[in-house]
Amino acid sequence: MNDNYYQLFQILKASLFTNEDVEAEDPESVFKEMKKQSVATIPWNWLREHRVPRSEAWDTFCITQYANWIKVMYWQDQALKLFEKNSIPCVIIKGAAAAMAYPYPTLRSMGDVDILVKRSDFLRAASVMEENGFCLTHDKDHAEHHYSYSKSKIVFELHRRLSVLSDSDEGMLSYFEKGIDDRVFRTIEGYSFPVLPPELNGLVLIFHINQHLRSGLGLRQIIDWMMYVNDLSSEIWENKLIPMLQRTGMERLAFTTTVMCQKYFGLRTIVDDKDYPCDELMEYIMEKGNFGRKAGAEGKTASFYLSTNTRGGFFKRLQTGGQKQWKSAKKYIFLRPFAWIYQSFRIFGIILKNKLTLKEIATQRAKSNDQRELIEKLGLDLDRTIHGT
């Protein structure tokens, strides 16, 4: 990792924990990297207080993001009032539910508004949103776990379950639905919103890291987890969260991420540093960026190779990937046996569109092997689905 990365780490550490002076030799490069990782707004207060030299673009970006934060929270509040009026219990996941653990919640960048409701309330909640000006942005026939809506240029995702859980996992699904019954309310800047109990809120955050680990994980998801565990009581960590991490197979991923935050960002010691692959995980994060935005077409090729690099075989993974990606196959059963053909043409299209050379393709194949090894070291498999016990 280059020097800009270490400057970035030190700035985040100072802005979140130590408040110490840090000399930024190339703040503009740090800013560009922070944008790719969706964490550029986090140190804004610290930058101003310590008079760190920075471009006008960095200040403008932070001000714009703050305005977006206010807009997101306002429309989130409107949606929650709508659900309350119609007696539909719900919780906010990620977003504001992660921001509430930050020292300055308004500096956590905000994207979609994710709302989780019970499965029995899902269709009614969807109807309520549609009847009140929330515009559907995706075909319902192909939605597996959520419907996506738009309101005032803000995306709302209405979830009936988390994406990494399967419809057959009644135990975990029921556990989260009970969490909706046991929800608690938090307030940021005058906006009140319901969230899951602490241990379930933590599961959502580590599930989110697991979800994006195979395609593009960024620092925003990591910082969300770090601030959550920093804010968590030792009683809940030891007696409630760890048993759930063990139950879902997420313990090693959670411990590795925590140790990585202790090493790079100054998080207080929560997990003893043993043989966790935290350096490898950090290198992967800095290479990929938030949602894989740094990897580009080459990264998509690596992700494709990763999906086919399993003990189940190349053809099986082509078929599985095609069934997930091909909308027509989801709709028409007779097309499903040919999903592997669709997936083959899909990846070849990416290669041709981006004019990738054989050398670049070979490089990405090697990177996919490294990524597979990292996933195995984290105690996971290539299927992101959580299998609760």
Q: What would the pLDDT profile of 106-147 be if each residue is shown by its tens digit?
A: 999 998 999 999 999 999 999 999 999 999 988 776 667 899
Has residue 315 got a pLDDT over 70? Answer: no
Mean pLDDT value of segment 86-106: 97
Output DSSP code: residue 106: G
Please tell me the distance from the alpha carbon of residue 260 to that of residue 213, in angstroms, as a whole number. 15
Tell me, what amino acid is at 88? I
| Mean pLDDT confidence for 72-95 | 97
Q: Which run of H or E residues covers position 145?
A: none
Q: What's the confidence (pLDDT) of residue 2?
A: 75
Q: Is the pLDDT assigned to residue 300 strictly greater than 70?
A: no
**Is residue 55 scored above 90 in pLDDT?**
no
Token readout for 5 is 């990365």
pLDDT for 287 beyond 90: no
Q: Residue 363: its pLDDT value, please?
A: 65
Structural contact between residues 289 and 218, judged by C-beta atoms closer than 8 angstroms: yes
> Burial, 140: exposed, middle or buried (Cβ in 10 Å; 0-12, 13-18, 19+)?
exposed
Q: 308: pLDDT confidence band, cut at 50, 70 and 90?
A: very low
| Structure confidence at residue 268 (pLDDT) | 95
pTM of the predicted model, to two decimals?
0.85
3-state DSSP call for residue 186? strand
Contact 227, 16 (CB under 8 A): yes
Identify which of 224, 121, 126, 129 has the alpha carbon closest to the alpha carbon of residue 177.
Answer: 121
Instruction: Evaluate whether 61 touches 36 at the Cβ level (below 8 Å).
Output: no
Domain boundaries, the chain: 80-288, 295-377
Mean pLDDT across 336-349: 78
H-run or E-run covering 287: helix 278-288
Under the banding of pLDDT at 50, 70 and 90, the label for residue 340 is confident
- Residues in contact with 204: Cβ distance below 8 Å, sequence separation at least 6, in sequence order: 93, 94, 97, 162, 196
Nearest-angstrom CA–CA distance, 21 and 302: 39
Helix (H, G, I), strand (E, B) or coil at 160: coil
Unique residue bearing structure tokens 């859980």: 165
Highest mean pLDDT among 212-226, 293-307, 309-323: 212-226
Name the DSSP letter for residue 196: -
- Average pLDDT for residues 265-290, to the nearest whole number? 89
Between CA 252 and CA 259 the distance in angstroms is 10
Most confident residue range from 135-144, 226-235, 297-306: 226-235
C-alpha span between 201 and 210 (Å, rounded) = 14
Question: Are the beta carbons of 211 and 114 closer than 8 angstroms?
Answer: no
pLDDT band at 369 (very low <50, low <70, confident <90, very high): confident
pLDDT > 50? residue 288: yes
The per-residue b/e assignment along 195-218, b for 16 or more CB within 10 angstroms, e otherwise, is bbbbbbbbbbbbbbbbbbbbbbbb
pLDDT of residue 304: 47
H/E stretch holding 188 reads strand 184-188
Quote the mean pLDDT of the chain: 87
Provide the CB-side half-sphere exposure for 308 (13 A, CA): 17
Range among 30-34, 102-106, 141-145 with highest mean pLDDT value: 102-106
Say which residue the tokens 């090894």 belong to: 373
Name the band, by pLDDT with cuts 50, 70 and 90, for residue 301.
Answer: very low
CATH code for the part of the protein at 80-288: 3.30.460.40
Say yes or no to pLDDT of 244 above 90.
Answer: yes
252: pLDDT confidence band, cut at 50, 70 and 90? Answer: very high
Kind of pairing, strands 113-117 and 154-159? Answer: parallel
> Rounded to whole angstroms, how far apart are CA atoms 306 and 365?
8
Give pLDDT, residue 95: 96
The answer, yes or no, to whether residue 178 has pLDDT greater than 60, is: yes
